[in-house]
């Protein structure tokens, strides 16, 4: 089962400021009763996007029409902390995000995102602010996340972006989904099993 080789992600971006944005803020626990992850996207950040007392939309960046359709999320440090729910990156993916740029990431969130093919790149605090300022000045500016080269480009400016070696290798090699990788090896497993006497006897 061939997977897409993720070498670059390009699109517009939105800055959601704050440190320690946890998985409960990304997708509240009450939405985790679903059998599949379908439909989670509309509830991403819902408790900070909608005022619970009035039901009205807040001034959250994801409600700003200037950033509609953004596929790259910018944020602060320790993004995705808290509980290890896979629903958080699933909600972001279904909302439309294909890359996340932050000062640092919670380890489990990072791993769950990588297995969805979402590069989580680390930029310095100063560079996050610089990219956010460029995006604020021109919300339609194209932001390119280069997984291979380890950089982010916006408005003809390059910013270094770090990604652990293993995550980089599986993304650019199209091996980011471990289950798909296992299924790809099923023919080899069957071939080997067919050559084993005790398997033939069974």
Binning the chain into helix, strand and coil, the percentages to the nearest 5 are: 40, 20, 45
Spans of all domains in the chain: 8-175
Q: What is the mean pLDDT of residues 146-174?
A: 96
Q: Pick the range with the lowest mean pLDDT from 1-10, 12-21, 59-68, 96-105.
A: 1-10
pLDDT tens string 24-77: 999 998 888 776 788 889 999 999 999 988 999 999 999 999 999 999 999 999
CATH code of the domain made up of 8-175: 3.20.19.10
- For residue 198, the model assigns a pLDDT of 80
Do residues 74 and 135 lie in contact, with contact meaning Cβ atoms separated by under 8 Å? yes
The reported pLDDT for the residue numbered 3 is: 81
pTM: 0.86
Q: For residue range 171-187, list pLDDT tens digits in order.
A: 999 988 766 666 666 67
Q: How confident is the model at residue 192 (pLDDT cuts 50, 70, 90)?
A: confident
Report in angstroms the alpha-carbon separations of 147 from 15, 51, 100.
20, 37, 12
- Average confidence score pLDDT of the chain: 91
Q: What is the mean pLDDT of residues 1-16?
A: 91
How high is the pLDDT of residue 196? 81
Q: What is the mean pLDDT of residues 137-155?
A: 97
pLDDT of residue 179: 67
Segment (H or E) for 24? helix 23-26
Strand order in the sheet with 13-15: 13-15, 72-74, 99-102, 120-122
Question: In this predicted structure, which of 90-94, 108-112, 188-192 has the lowest mean pLDDT?
Answer: 188-192
- The pLDDT, as a whole number, for residue 184 is 66
Tokens representing residue 81 in the block: 């902390």
Alpha-carbon distance of 161 to 50, in angstroms, equals: 32
Q: Is residue 7 over pLDDT 70?
A: yes
Whether pLDDT at 201 is above 70? no
Residue 182, SS3 per DSSP: helix
pLDDT in tens, 63-73: 999 999 999 99
């Amino acid at each position: 089962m061939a997977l897409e080789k993720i070498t670059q992600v390009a699109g517009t971006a939105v800055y959601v400021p704050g440190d320690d944005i946890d998985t409960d803020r990304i997708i509240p626990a009450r939405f985790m009763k679903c059998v599949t992850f379908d439909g989670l996207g509309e509830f991403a950040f819902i408790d900070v996007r909608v005022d619970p007392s009035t039901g009205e939309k807040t001034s959250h960046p994801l409600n700003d029409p200037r950033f509609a359709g953004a596929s790259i999320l910018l944020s602060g440090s320790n993004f995705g902390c808290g509980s290890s729910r896979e629903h958080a990156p699933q909600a972001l993916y279904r909302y439309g995000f294909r890359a996340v740029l932050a000062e640092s990431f919670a380890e489990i969130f990072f791993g769950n995102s990588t297995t969805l093919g979402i590069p989580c790149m680390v930029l310095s605090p100063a560079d996050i602010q610089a990219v956010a300022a460029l995006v604020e000045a021109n919300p339609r500016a194209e932001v390119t996340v280069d997984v291979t080269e380890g950089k982010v480009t916006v408005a003809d400016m390059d910013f270094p972006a770090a990604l652990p070696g293993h995550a980089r290798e599986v993304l650019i090699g199209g091996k980011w989904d471990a289950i798909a990788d296992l299924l790809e090896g099923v023919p080899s497993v069957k071939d080997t099993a067919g050559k084993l006497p005790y398997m033939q006897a069974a």
